[in-house]
Amino acid sequence: MGMRAVRRLLKSSIAFQLGLLCFVVALTVVVTCWLMQTPGFRMTTPEVKVVVFEEHHEVLRYWFAEAEAGSFPQSGNTLIHIDGHSDEAPPDYYDEYPFFRWPKTPKELVYMLQKNDVFVVEAVMSGLFNRFVWVWPSWDRQNHSGLYRRTVTEIGWFVPNTDEASTAKVFCQCQPDDTNRRVCFYFNEEVAYLSGGTDVVELDPGRCKVETSYISEEVMDQVFIEKFTKENWIDKSETIILDIDEDYFGCESGADPLLQTKINWKLVELLDTLLSMTFCPMNTDDERVSDLFLTKIIETIMRNCEDSDSQNSFCNSKLKLNATFSQVGKYFNSFFRERSAIFCSQLKSSSRTRVKKIVKLLLVMTYDQLKTLTDIGFCMTTTPKSLSGELYKNVPFQVCHGFNTPNESIVTFHSPTEDEIETRSELMQSIISRLSTPRLISICRSFRDGYVPKKHFRHIENNVLNAVKNAFQEAKLTFHYDPGLLGGQRGWEARHEYRKARSTFQS
């Protein structure tokens, strides 16, 4: 072959390669442009915020803030809710409530922070979600008629008073029953209190004025993967918000440790009343030091009154009683000097009298009961940033036993083992790893309200965080711990580590 032929061959080869390169570049541009118009597609590594907070209704602050910041749309999203409870109850109506719309002011948002089981419906009413998938744990099987259920839930309102001038409203919901009959209902806590049964009251469908609706789905965790694999069930184009409650692993009564000491619950209720009349903390720091002050009082009683021959003796020595009241008096003087604003009464004599009543009540308890009180601790019944704090300016402060107290709870209890926590953690990771990358991941502790198994709290939260990290390794996860967490980032169990901080009332 001559040199001319070789040069012609090389030129044609180079031209072919250049043409192929141009074709590949053009194809890449076309495909990229097409993908960029595909919902949910992102070219860069997705950045996902993971927020850890205390009570479930507090998540509304993060959902609305992230949507307003552009992390996801303000409407039409899908909520994947992994929880021991559906949390689909409707909220209470107030004139200041954002009526079936997005909250426009911080005050309107506060009126949405009502209870730990109404935030889902509130978010739907605002337009944020149009699809809700509740992944429930297999230990809750007894409360479900099937392994999977899909329904369209309507949300509306009615005026309970027949007086046409009345403006009071009550939110209602409508769903088809098993016979496809449209059933409407509302919630009435007073009815439940009087009857000792359910708070769900059926309503004439014609009275519920429907404003919006959403797709509501319930699926048992062990069925989720099978359903996800066989069907195009949750499309990759859907904008996903992942919400996890740590009580998915189990639900216990925070009162159980005290009940196991054979304490008379009337005694606890009396103590709660005295505490709420004495201490009025305005924030979580006030709450922490109030708990520390009470813990030191109890430890003083235990130290002065403990019988070396018994762990269950009463403080019946006059000498020991005098020593106890003397030491508590010194603690009180130092504490009042430093943090008088925490007390409901700013009169020192009045607050001292109330503290003395608390001490007298504690003195009739056994050593084991007092020790259990220090383990459980003392806290506000809900976050001071909630509607309760807005309306009443202070939240009741009491023994930190949560809401599931004797004769006042109808939730299903389940105490998991360590092995079960590991198994359920693996299952949860398998579930969430099948989802497209969420735009936000919210994790609720449910510690303050007394739902999560407290003795397993640290194990459960570590496993949840690890599952999230392993499931979304392709994403850049940033973790945010809410400043209102009970006991801070490390949790309520670690709260007494603050005793290392200098404080004069500890002397």
Residue-wise pLDDT tens digits, 50-70? 999 999 999 999 999 999 999
CA–CA gap between residue 177 and residue 360 (Å, rounded): 55
Q: Which DSSP letter does residue 396 get?
A: -
Q: What is the pTM of this model?
A: 0.87
The reply to whether 334 and 424 lie within a common domain is no
- Position 56 in a domain: yes
Residue 304's pLDDT is 87
Structure tokens given for 182: 């449209």
* C-alpha pair distances (Å), 1 with each of 5, 7, 8, 74, 457: 6, 10, 11, 70, 81
In whole angstroms, what is the distance from residue 51 CA to residue 454 CA? 20
What's the confidence (pLDDT) of residue 384? 87
Q: What is the structure's pLDDT at 394?
A: 78
What's the pLDDT band for 501 if we cut at 50, 70, 90? very low
pLDDT tens profile 146-194: 999 999 999 999 998 766 556 689 999 999 998 999 999 999 876 544 4
Who's near 216: CB < 8 A, 6+ residues apart? Answer: 88, 132, 134, 150, 151, 152, 153, 175
**Is the same domain home to 297 and 391?**
yes
From the list 227, 225, 218, 202, the residue with the least C-alpha distance to 145 is 218
Q: Is 469 found in the same domain as 377?
A: no
Nearest alpha-carbon partner for 298 in 219, 226, 399: 399
Give the pLDDT band (50/70/90) at residue 203: very high
173 inside domain: no
> Residue 32 — very low, low, confident or very high, per pLDDT cuts 50/70/90?
very low
The beta strands (E) that lie in 118-208 are given as 129-136, 148-158, 170-176, 182-187, 200-203
Nearest-CA neighbor of 321 among 267, 362, 260? 362
If asked whether residues 421 and 286 sit together in one domain, one would say no
Residues 438 and 396 grouped into a single domain: no
Q: Is residue 9 part of a domain?
A: no
Confidence of residue 503 (pLDDT cuts 50, 70, 90): very low
231, 342: one domain: no
Considering the domain architecture, whether residues 276 and 351 belong to the same structural domain is answered as yes
Question: Is 202 within a domain?
Answer: no
- Averaged confidence pLDDT in the chain: 87
Q: Which DSSP category does 154 fall into?
A: E
Q: Do 383 and 467 share a structural domain? A: no
| Residue 470 near residue 263, CB atoms below 8 Å | no
8 A C-beta contact, residue 129 and residue 123: yes
Contact by Cβ (8 Å): 447, 54:
yes
Task: Provide the number of structural domains found in the chain.
Answer: 2
Q: Are residues 262 and 217 in the same domain?
A: no
Q: Is residue 238 domain-shared with residue 104, that is, in the same domain?
A: yes
Burial 131-162 (b: 16+ CB within 10 A, else e): bbbbbbbebbeeeeeebeeeeebbbbbbeeee
Q: Which two tokens stand for residue 261?
A: 């000491």
Q: What is the pLDDT of residue 506?
A: 45
State which residues form the domain around 53: 47-154+212-253+414-474
* Averaged pLDDT, 383-408: 87
pLDDT for 210 equals 98
- For residues 466 and 424, state if they share a domain: yes
Does residue 427 sit in the same domain as residue 396? Answer: no
Distance (Å, rounded) from C-alpha 168 to C-alpha 121?
19
Handedness of CA 270, 272, 274, 277 (dihedral sign): negative
* Residue 266 falls inside a structural domain: yes
